Chain A
Amino acid sequence: MMQTKKMSKNKNKSKHEALTLQFIPFSEIEKLDSTARIRKLLEIVLNNKIIVIQGKLRAEEETRLIEDTMVMVGKVKGFRGIELAVVSPNAKERDFMSKVKHGIANALVGQTDSLTIIGPAAIIKDMKRDPRKLEVMMSGR
């Protein structure tokens, strides 16, 4: 009886496995240098959490993130890499004044009108992006 109860408890547990989305406001990573930023992000991902960042990484930071991820794939057992997607408003649809305003805002406070989603490949199977939507396919765990 005890065993059955325990088994059903485990069954329920696997049904309701928690998924953590960790939101990182831009202000939290703003003052970190590239190395510290990437280290912080990878530490969270290695804890099987999905990160939602307000803003986007610099172009060279994105490639550095891929590079460091590959180093970790070789070192951390069971880690297969990351899924990464950046969603930004379509700049083409803005009028001239709006572009100027956004340019100034980006220069002052960073590209906070974008969202970056990073998650472990073990949890996120795929992220399909097009200009208007982002589909996140989860792995059947």
Chain B
Amino acid sequence: MVLKILTNFFKRIFSEMFKGKTNISIGFYGPPNAGKTSLANRICKDWTGEEIGTVSRVPHETRKVQFREKVDIKYKENQLTFKLVDTPGIATKIDYEDFMKFKMKKKEAQSRAKEATQGIIESIKWLDDVDAVVVVVDSTENPYSQVNVTIIGNLVARKIPVLIVANKIDSRKSDIKKCEDAFPEYDVVGISAKYGTNMEEFYESLFKLAKKVKK
């Protein structure tokens, strides 16, 4: 009995010591349609029971930053509580005519384009308020896109810890090796947010990411 109390006491002390900063904010960044909201939904559904936002094949579906306070993950004796910040995809151009290809009327497309530009500005502003970032890239696309490079370069300059998630590994066109080669200095985890593939490795990497956050 005494041994059990002592074991629990030391367990608690050590887990507090290695917990890192509490109440951390983890931002989900990346280009449009990489699957940021799909991943955020997967995490929220796994650990809070509710999804955070809607997903669509039309780019810029997420046009406002959406967050979920206190997502509590317990995995293999580890525990992590964080604020999940799902951001609109960052792009260097917005053309309303691109939305019209998805059978949208001109007015609706123009309004969506306007909201998308505001969403990008909001995403960039939120970089000041996150402690760590999960950069979600589409593993079926060229990882060397300037948006990916710019986001990661900015995070490095701000000394914000980064985890790269190569999403859509369920697709035949997926090339994780190319993603790893593009970002050799970072942990790259291949997942399928849609089907929940390889989420165990993702959660392990998320714990490692949280530990890198300065207290």
A59 touches B156 (CB 8 A): yes
Which B residues touch A58, using CB under 8 A? 157
| B-contact 0/1 string along A63-101, CB 8 Å cutoff | 100110111011000001111111000001000000000
Range of interface residues on B (Cβ < 8 Å) = 20 to 34
Count of A-B contacts judged by CB separation below 8 Å: 73
Asked whether any CB of chain A lies closer than 8 Å to the CB of B127, the reply is yes
B127 touches A63 (CB 8 A): yes
Asked whether any CB of chain A lies closer than 8 Å to the CB of B153, the reply is yes
Asked whether any CB of chain A lies closer than 8 Å to the CB of B145, the reply is yes
> Which of A60, A62, A130 sits near B142, CB closer than 8 Å?
A130
> Which of A59, A84, A131 sits near B144, CB closer than 8 Å?
A131
B95 touches A121 (CB 8 A): yes
Q: How far is the CA of A67 from the CA of B114 in the complex (A)?
A: 13
| A-contact 0/1 string along B124-150, CB 8 Å cutoff | 110100000000000000101110011
Asked whether any CB of chain B lies closer than 8 Å to the CB of A13, the reply is no
Which A residues touch B125, using CB under 8 A? 67
| B-contact 0/1 string along A109-127, CB 8 Å cutoff | 0000000000001000001
Expressed in whole angstroms, the minimum distance between the Cβ of A136 and any Cβ of chain B is 12
B117 touches A73 (CB 8 A): yes
Which B residues touch A127, using CB under 8 A? 146
Asked whether any CB of chain A lies closer than 8 Å to the CB of B118, the reply is yes
Known: A81-B91, A84-B92, A121-B95. A70 touches B120 (CB 8 A): yes
Asked whether any CB of chain A lies closer than 8 Å to the CB of B49, the reply is no
